[in-house]
Structure 1
């Protein structure tokens, strides 16, 4: 059967081969090529890549997140670059996809002054607030109407709080992170 590199069965086989890469000896470079072809860049060993694989690997690292060691898989990278270019994106993906990682990477670029993240529950407001603690040096994290905005803000509200909030400045990035 002729399968796409994006086929989950193909990706699963490549990941299984990657687990046993040492058994491939000198042919192990073929495993890296298969990992690159399937877009599974986070699974590559940065120390042993060919030039072609290094270029692909570096291309999938988000801006300003070098110290975190983050590397996107192919689809995450595509979504990230579309959003950076100013495009609107509707993304429906499973929990394990890494949507939150894309949001964090966008915030880390420093390209935005005011960001609104809409989450479905108050519990997710708190979870998201904790996740955004790493951005406190550059943004004020706002989760309640009573908080005064700063120069740069990340508003994390439920849909009800967004509708009720009347003080929004110009918004540079608007994300609905899960809805029911």
Structure 2
């Protein structure tokens, strides 16, 4: 055998040995696992007026005279799966009697647990100074309620996450930066 063949054979043997050693260092046992079927679901925010069992008007007042006052009670139900802050957004009266009739409502937010109910009072007053121009007149009163999630939205003075001492939401605004 010639010297060239011997050197070539030695080089080839060295290369094969290096390849086996190098290949052996990368031949590791491996495995993987998959956790499938995980889900994420959002809660719901839905309120409804259940006054009188089916959203009937809180009050109907007839034969009012100057000096009359009273209140109507509206019952709101939280139909959602999340606790909600609920407040009266507006109480407006329209019609010929509206300029004389005073309508007030406490707009402080109330925490209503999921599936729970609470009542809100709407007060009316026809001042004694109401003149003859308002005889036989009427007004219609509309009360609009607003709700926002309570979870992660507590104005918590103690910072303890306890809803019993929270006095309302941090914000009434929907996060408009995330859209479906």
Where on the TM-score scale, by shorter chain, does this alignment land: which range? under 0.3
Higher strand share: 2
Relative contact order, CA 8 A, sep 6+: which one is greater?
2
The TM-score normalised by the length of structure 1 is 0.24
Q: Which protein has the larger Cα radius of gyration, Structure 1 or Structure 2?
A: 2
Higher helix share: 1
The TM-score normalised by the length of structure 2 is 0.24
